A and B are shown apart, each in its own frame.
Chain A
Amino acid sequence: MQASNRLLDFPKPVFSMLWQFMQRFNYELAVLSRFFIAIVGGYFFTAVSVSLLSVVVPVSKVDAVLLSVSASILIYTLVFIYSFYLQSLKTVWISILLSVAVQFFILSLMKGWL
């Protein structure tokens, strides 16, 4: 940590200021980042998973849509709480991004978008 700090310090003062800022507001930035992944990540997660759900369930079109939108807020809430439940912020980011990507991939295969 110390070494990299000095490394950034020397050539570019802008980087150093940014680094200091991040050090100083480490906690605040972590909170912001967690809120961001909870709100935006949770939104994308919900969007893609309810879309997938509506394609997967073996009922009529109208029913599939109504069922999945009714469940959407439940999913969003769970993802939101999940992102505050885990200690490691990195795990939260990776798991949400990865699961969104996987679900989107499956959805695209099923709909033939690829």
Chain B
Amino acid sequence: MKGSFFRSMTWLHTWVGLLVCWLLYLIFFAGTISFFRDEVSLWNQPSIHNIEQQTDRIGAQKQQIISGVEYLNTQAPNAPNWRITLPEERVPYLTYGYAKPKEPEQRRASFENTRLDPNNMQPLAPFTDTRGGNFFYRLHFDLHYIDVKTARWIVCFASLFMLIALISGIVIHKRIFKDMFVFRANKGSRSWLDVHNLSSVFALPFHLMITYTGIITLIFMIFPYPAQTVYENGIRGFFNDVSPSSPVTESLQGTAPLVPINTVLDQVYTKWPEADITRVIINNPHKAAATIMVLVSPGKTLRDQSPRLIFSGASGELVAQTDDELTGSKALYESLNSMHTGRLAEPLLRVLYFLGGIAGCIMIATGCIMWAKRLRERMKKNTQPSWGLKLVEGLNLGTLMGLPLATSAFFLANRLLSKQVAERADKEILAFFLTWLCVFIIAFVKRDKLQWCVMAAINSIACFSVPLVNALTTQGNIISYLRNEQWALFMFDSLFLAIGLLFLLQTEKLRTALQAKKPTPINTQEQKV
């Protein structure tokens, strides 16, 4: 656009990046936490912390399904839908649920769930009302307080801009390999650039992958046109074609007794002897149109849609199933999706995903700080900063420091709010956004080094208090987690301690910088450079 290709790409990188960096920071931040969605949900639910790992999880599944059907048959024989969700490695409990009759204003029926300890099959106490990890999961593409569809469009375009910024960033980057080993500390905006490069280059494949696949997960919303061109009845026709279903069974009228679940399970185990069943969904039980859908875990395959078998509930016949072998394009699409969600990830890979996400957050954060720093450095002495610079600096402080603080507030609220509070889950979320709002208000009043220092100190205190409050309000604490090998909970608490320590270091560094500045009122940094 201006001069050479190199310069136009630099321009594009700067402005496209700056335009969406704060929103992207939120998306990356919440998305990174979502890799540990189940673990966060577990932490938020202290009553299930002490459920022991089953010795033979897969072996117990058949009996759990059989007793689930029995239970639902006595509790709600007329419910339109039954769901049996089996324990997984990261979800220690068993759920029997049935759909309640739909209220007129509801889009989807709500479920009445009974959760059990799979070791002794005793029902667990009702759960604390909290969104847990699902809050962060939803936040990273649905945002909050705004219409879901609008939010997703915004997130898609922000991701597109991210992709543009990544590609133009690669183009303007001259020495990718060399910069991997370059870090010049305490050199003003130069140091920020080095951190920006380091975090981008080290995790570059991750950044490209996660951004591209992120848009692909919402692709049918932004580009429904191929499906609309190829199929007469549009996107619906396409989805009917993709997901296995049996129109013949669904159209049947009248009632029919449900086949014993045994006969269905035997067919499943004949087909997949090692099957790790995740869920059994029974639609219209005791009707002629009844279907029994058995979902098994895709395991370590690059597949997003769980393999499933659908049986007729009246005859026990197999009526539909997912493809055993995926065709080329299906494999491409499924692998793009499953790479984004990372459901296949073993603990080690999951940690790598998490580190990649953190690198992304650092990349975005340093990018937006750098923009402001460079402008400050270039500014002549005694000139007023432009409103644009003030805005960027305010958004930087508000987002970069506000989001971690809001997250701590969310977890503190989870432990400190009384269990009896009405709409408790919403109150936790309110705590999150109110805290964030407070930081923003401070950031827009003043955003000097002092405010950064204070914010870092508050963040540090908040991070330390999360494991502390947890130890005071629940039966476990970080030491007992280590003793009982409750790794998910131990990692959660120690992560907060580690981040708290980082914030403490930052506070110290900013404080010394502030003190060094005091004796000479003239900006000393400029003389150093």
Residues of A within 8 A of B (CB): 31, 34, 39, 46-48, 50-51, 53-55, 59-70, 72-74, 76-77, 80-81, 84-85, 87, 107, 111
Contact = CB atoms under 8 A, between A and B. Distances in A.
Interface of B is mostly: helix
B386 interface: no
Interface of B: 1, 5, 8-9, 11-12, 157, 160, 163-164, 167-168, 212, 215-216, 219-220, 223, 225-231, 238, 241-242, 327-330, 332-333, 336
B333 A51 contact: no
B1 A73 contact: no
Closest 7 CB pairs of A and B: A54-B226, A67-B329, A63-B329, A66-B333, A51-B229, A68-B226, A66-B329
Contacts of B157: 39
13 contacts: A46-B223, A59-B329, A61-B241, A66-B329, A69-B219, A69-B333, A70-B336, A72-B223, A77-B163, A80-B160, A84-B8, A84-B12, A87-B1
B163 A69 contact: no
A64 B329 contact: yes
Nearest to B229: A51
B167 A63 contact: no
Contacts of A31: 1
Contacts of B219: 69-70, 72-73
Nearest to A44: B225
B244 to A, nearest CB: 12
Contacts of B229: 51, 54-55, 107, 111
B160 A77 contact: yes
Contact of A70 (B11, B167, B216, B231): B216
A47 B5 CA distance: 27
A65 B329 CA distance: 9
A76 B161 CA distance: 11
Contact of A73 (B9, B212, B241, B333): B212
A95 to B, nearest CB: 15
B325 to A, nearest CB: 13
Contact of B238 (A62, A81, A85): A62
Interface centre among B160, B215, B220, B241 (most CB of A within 10 A): B160
Contacts of A111: 229
Contact of A81 (B12, B212, B225, B241): B12
Contacts of A54: 226-227, 229-230
Contact of A62 (B1, B5, B9, B330): B330
B230 A63 contact: no
Contacts of A50: 223, 225-226
Given A47-B225, A81-B168, A73 B327 contact: no
Contacts of B225: 47-48, 50-51
B166 to A, nearest CB: 9
Contacts of B8: 84-85, 87
A63 B327 contact: yes
B215 to A, nearest CB: 5
Contact of B216 (A46, A47, A73): A73
Interface centre among A51, A54, A62, A107 (most CB of B within 10 A): A62
Contacts of B163: 73, 77
B1 A84 contact: yes
A87 B478 CA distance: 60
Interface centre among B160, B229, B230, B238 (most CB of A within 10 A): B229
A105 B327 CA distance: 31
A25 B225 CA distance: 37
B333 A70 contact: yes
A67 B332 contact: yes
Nearest to B166: A77
Contacts of A47: 223, 225
Contact of B164 (A65, A80, A87): A80
Nearest to A38: B164
A76 to B, nearest CB: 7
A46 B156 CA distance: 15
Contacts of A68: 226
Interface centre among A46, A48, A63 (most CB of B within 10 A): A63
B164 A61 contact: no
A111 B228 CA distance: 12
Given A69-B216, A70-B333, A85-B5, A62 B160 contact: no
Contacts of A76: 160
A66 B5 CA distance: 34
